Amino acid sequence: MDLLVERELPNVKRLVTAGSQAGFFYELDALVSLEFGEELPRHFPLWENYYDPADFLSYRAEPAFAGRVRDVAVENGQPFPQAHLAYWDNKAVLAGIRGLVGR
């Protein structure tokens, strides 16, 4: 995320995160590239963020970056900490990512 804030990468059309703490770090003013209160730059790509309420390490990004990210709640079917590792085995996450390809 920091790299995509710092510079435009024309070949990067979309950012997909799963179990990310980017919104949390932003609210703590702990991102290297973006101070709390600053908006994402115009060049920042479309962003889809998957989170599982059972994953205590995942965090919604939409409240921190309103209108710039789409949060998608999923259920990985695992307790914590396994829930944090289960996104890539979750058929809903994989189908959602496949649906983004080409858009």
Q: What's the pLDDT at 103?
A: 61
DSSP-derived letter for residue 92 is H
Q: Is residue 65 a contact partner of residue 71, using CB atoms and an 8 Å limit?
A: no
Direct distance between the N- and C-terminal alpha carbons of the chain, in angstroms, rounded to an integer: 20
Query: In angstroms, what CA-CA distances link 6 with 33, 41, 42, 45, 62?
Result: 6, 9, 11, 12, 20
- The model's pTM: 0.90
Write out pLDDT tens, residues 37-76: 999 999 999 999 999 999 999 999 999 999 999 999 999 9
For residue 100, the surrounding DSSP H or E stretch is helix 91-100
pLDDT, the chain, mean: 93
Encode 30-69: b = buried (16+ Cβ within 10 Å), e = exposed: ebeebeeeeebeeebbebbbbbbebbeebbbbbebbeeeb
pLDDT at 26 over 90: yes
Give 45-65 as a 3 state SS string.
Answer: CEEEEEECCCCCCCCCCCCCC
Where does the pLDDT of residue 19 fall: very low under 50, low under 70, confident under 90, or very high at 90 and above? very high
